Structure 1
Amino acid sequence: MDDFSAIVTYVKRHIQLTPEEEAFYISLLRIKKVKKKQFIVQPDFVCNHRTYVVKGALRSYLIDAEGQDHTVAFGIDDWWISDFNSFFFRQPATLFVEALEASTLIQISYDDEQLLLNTIPKFEKFYRILAQNGYANLQKRILADISLDAAGRYENFLQKYPLVAARVPQYALASYLGVSHELLSKIRNKRVKKS
């Protein structure tokens, strides 16, 4: 149980589980350890797992036709990450999901998640809550992207995700904010001079 205590605690923040339900859930989970720069999802392959980050840092990103990468999301301790479009709709992934540091993950396969939902229907509520939170955060990000300049987006990110900002490389953060590495360096330097 100790290996799965973090994810069980996460789930129990949203739904109550009997000991039997908890044991069944755990039986469907798999621990995966990845090295820095290792991919857990790659474009053109169907994403078969929903991934919970026990310890570590990952990012999902795409590469456009010009070869520019665009970070879509980060996942650090106690967060979820995947190519959800591929996972939910069983289509080839469009995103890379890469470890930014050596990480310990817990995964559930698509088929096992369907079995879980059919066996313990209250997990529908759990995944609905995850989806609602994800959608609300996505909307906030879109609004920040269209209403704030680069410095404002950086400040917003620092206020909302200080732990992420401290752990991810500057190139990945610049990619997430939609700015060049050089512009982010200037914004950071200007911020340091002000304080």
Structure 2
Amino acid sequence: MIPREYQGLFSNIARYVTLSQEEQEQIAAIINITPIKKRQFIDQPGYISPYRNYIVKGAFRSFFLDKDGKEHTVQIAIEDWFVSDFYSYITRTPATLFVEALEDSTLLQMKYEDIEPLCGKIHSLSEYFRVSTEKAFAYSRNRALSNLSMTAEERYLKLTSMYPGIVNRVPQRIIASYLGMTPEFLSKIRKGIAQNS
């Protein structure tokens, strides 16, 4: 029997592919449930990302430090998302990103050495990861275009309309970093929106 904590992951997979009960059990057998404390890192530069991490509960951010030591947030992730330094995971090269828990969280972790051979045996699982990787790439491209074509206020409004609760869970400085602006500028935007609503 598949543990209750795995249901979100298998519901996510079921949006794209169909797995038999036996296939689900094979996948469940290689999953570890891992509690993660707030501010704990699950990936760090210099180390190869070892897991596909599915978020059962909590919030994370991926960021890098520029040559001046300034943080640049490239991903904010919440429940029902995968999070890691994906480039490191896929290419088996050292990570360039820090991946940090923003809340006490719970992950389903699947080791590269376990999941990749299983993808060779279970075609539907391989197809699921192909589709989800393509969607992540498309989202990343869309975000890059938004940063170039939208105003700061439009980017903030888009984020809050897509993920309404995120601003209450993620510190303002991290949201500002993700949107490519200073916390002070984000504060002005939020004040302006509040006054006009």
Corresponding position of 2:170: 168
Paired residue for 1:37, among 33, 36, 39?
39
Corresponding position of 2:130: 128
- Point out 4+ residue stretches in structure 1 off by more than 6 angstroms: none
Indicate the SS of the match to 1:162.
Answer: coil
Give 2:56's aligned amino acid: V
Corresponding position of 1:20: 22
Q: What is the aligned-residue RMSD (CA, Å)?
A: 1.0
Can you give the 5+ residue segments of structure 2 that lack an aligned partner in the other structure? Answer: none
Tell me the distance in 2 between the aligned counterparts of 1:166 and 1:14. Answer: 30
Corresponding position of 2:184: 182
Identity %: 39
**Offset of residue 192 of structure 1:** 0.5
| Mapping for residues 103-142 of structure 1, pairs under 5 Å | 103-142=105-144
Corresponding position of 1:59: 61
**Offset of residue 166 of structure 1:** 3.0
Corresponding position of 1:92: 94
Give 2:119's aligned amino acid: L
Tell me the distance in 1 between the aligned counterparts of 2:146 and 2:37. Answer: 33
Paired residue for 1:76, among 59, 75, 78?
78
**Offset of residue 121 of structure 1:** 1.7
Can you give the 5+ residue segments of structure 1 that lack an aligned partner in the other structure? Answer: none
> Does the 8 Å CA contact 2:120/2:126 hold for their aligned counterparts?
no
Q: Which one is further off, 21-30 or 158-167?
A: 158-167
**Offset of residue 129 of structure 1:** 1.1
**Offset of residue 163 of structure 1:** 2.8
TM-score norm. by structure 2 comes to 0.96
The total of aligned residue pairs comes to 195
TM-score norm. by structure 1 comes to 0.97
**Offset of residue 160 of structure 1:** 2.0
